[in-house]
Amino acid sequence: MSEHDEPMVIFNEQPPIHVGTVSPSRVLRMVNIAELGVTVLAYVKKHPGLNLLLSFENVDYLSSAVLTELLRINQAIQECRGRLRLCAVSPAIQEIFQITRLDTVFSIHGEGVDVEAKKFARAIALEREEKAWESGGPSAS
């Protein structure tokens, strides 16, 4: 399969989250940056309330245009009451988020998909448990 045939983001459902892995080096081309947004936004639209873990394990550079697309994706996910986390973010890319103060907007993690998927799923479970207790506690069996 040639690089042009590869999807920009490959999605994999791991309930209660969905993992999206950005294809290697595809984000570097200006012509493909909009494709990132279109691909992820279409997926978000099909999955309201989506808990998305977006993996950047194959990415070693982000342009400001990619950051703009990530902001659009984050807004769309929040509007549908979902959550977005970024994982496998290299130290160099984490520094970009810090310099731009976007580390206050995004949940950014350096760990890989396996570790962060477990953490994300656990955080969702804890949040649901907390909501159950706030609404009168879990039902007695």
Q: What's the Rg (C-alpha) of the chain?
A: 16
- Please give the pLDDT value at position 26: 55
3-class state of residue 19 by DSSP: strand
- Digitized pLDDT (tens) for each residue of the chain, 141 residues in all: 445 567 889 999 999 999 999 987 655 566 678 888 999 999 999 999 999 999 999 888 888 889 999 999 999 999 999 999 999 999 999 999 999 999 999 999 999 999 999 999 999 999 999 988 988 766 544
- Please give the pLDDT value at position 35: 86
- Please give the pLDDT value at position 31: 67
As assigned by CATH, the class of the 9-115+122-130 domain is alpha beta
Domain coordinates in residue numbering, the chain: 9-115+122-130
- Please give the pLDDT value at position 1: 41
- Please give the pLDDT value at position 138: 61
**Closest to 26 in 3D by CA, of 60, 51, 50, 75:** 60
